Amino acid sequence: MSDAERQRIMEICNSPEFSSFPPNVIVPTLADRGIYIASESTFYRVLKANKLLTPRRRERSYKRPGAQKTTAPNQVWSWDISYLPTPIKGRHLYLYMMMDIFSRKIVGADVFEQESGEQAAELLQRCIWKEKCAGKKIILHSDNGGPMRSYTLLAKMYDLGVISSYSRPRVSNDNPYSESLFRTVKYCPQWPAEGFTLLNDARAWVAQFVNGYNLEHKHSGIKYVTPDERHREADKEILAKRKAIYELARAKKPERWSKGCRNWNFIHEVMLNPEVSAA
């Protein structure tokens, strides 16, 4: 690799657009624009040589096999509730989030001052109306918390034609998609470590996060397309174009491609581990 190519890699990685992203996001993003400079491993080597690699590393993702298969958006959703901090010790707000596990799109989110099945039912109804999928027998997966099994929520699910699915008893990590999403929320650079003073402040922050996550975040679990692109089923075309860019780059300099092209094939199905139980 020439010094000019190394310099270009450094300029891209240190640019305002890409300074906080690792190579496994940068390289496919450039490919989507018709640009291929070098492989992800080459980007990593250049960053390591310049002592810039450590801050860009990501946690290794955790995978486990599943039994419930989804092959399109709005077949299986996952949801959960998590604490949001406030400056007052012992006081929390509660973040409710529902996501589509096929596309990873956040289909609905809100912040409340307490946990309750009534508020969960209200959010679910908003999500169903927004996605125009009433009566389509969506599977809604959650853990076994009180709001998740409340009569009010179950009644609303019945009215909307939604089927319940729960984590297995005594299995703490049986809701991996929601757990991963909340981890992303709380480790994002904009996370306010001092907490949220007002409910409306928390709601505004969450709305901004959801917008950025759905429309801009290149998700590693869906081949580095955005959740919105996958939810709109635009990812198949994006991945095909990206694959063509990689293959063209390989044809020009095959000596740099000892391991072949990266797999950019469309993901046809996503699995959820627990068994489904009807509401």
- Domain ranges across the chain: 3-60+234-258, 68-215
The runs of H, that is alpha helices, within the chain are 3-13, 23-32, 40-49, 117-131, 151-160, 176-186, 199-215, 227-231, 235-252
pLDDT at 168: 64
Q: How far is CA 171 from the centre of its chain?
A: 22
Indicate if the pLDDT at residue 97 is higher than 60. Answer: yes
Task: Identify the residue with better confidence: 56 or 231.
Answer: 231
Predicted confidence band at 134 (pLDDT cuts at 50, 70, 90)? confident
153-182 mean pLDDT: 82
Indicate if the pLDDT at residue 42 is higher than 50. Answer: yes
pLDDT at 14: 84
194-222 mean pLDDT: 95
- Beta strands at 92-100 and 106-112: parallel, antiparallel or unpaired: antiparallel
68-215 carries CATH number 3.30.420.10: yes
Indicate if the pLDDT at residue 171 is higher than 60. Answer: no
Report the b/e string of 59-96 with b at 16+ CB within 10 A: eeeeeeebebebeebbbbbbbbbbebbbeeeeebbbbb
Indicate if the pLDDT at residue 247 is higher than 80. Answer: yes
Predicted confidence band at 89 (pLDDT cuts at 50, 70, 90)? confident
Most confident of 105-109, 161-165, 188-192: 105-109
For the chain, give the mean pLDDT: 87
**Best CA proximity match to 279, nearest among 167, 168, 169, 164:** 164
Residues 6+ apart with CB under 8 A from 126: 108
| DSSP secondary structure letter of residue 219 | B
**What is the pTM (predicted TM-score) of this model?**
0.79
Q: How far apart are CA 144 and CA 95, in angstroms?
A: 17
pLDDT at 58: 45
Three-class DSSP labels, 77-90: EEEEEEEEECCCCC
pLDDT at 276: 43
Three-class DSSP labels, 166-212: ECCCCCCCCCHHHHHHHHHHHCCCCCCCCCCCCHHHHHHHHHHHHHH
What six digits make up the tokens of 205?
Answer: 């922050």
pLDDT at 21: 81
255-277 residue pLDDT tens: 888 888 889 999 999 988 644 44
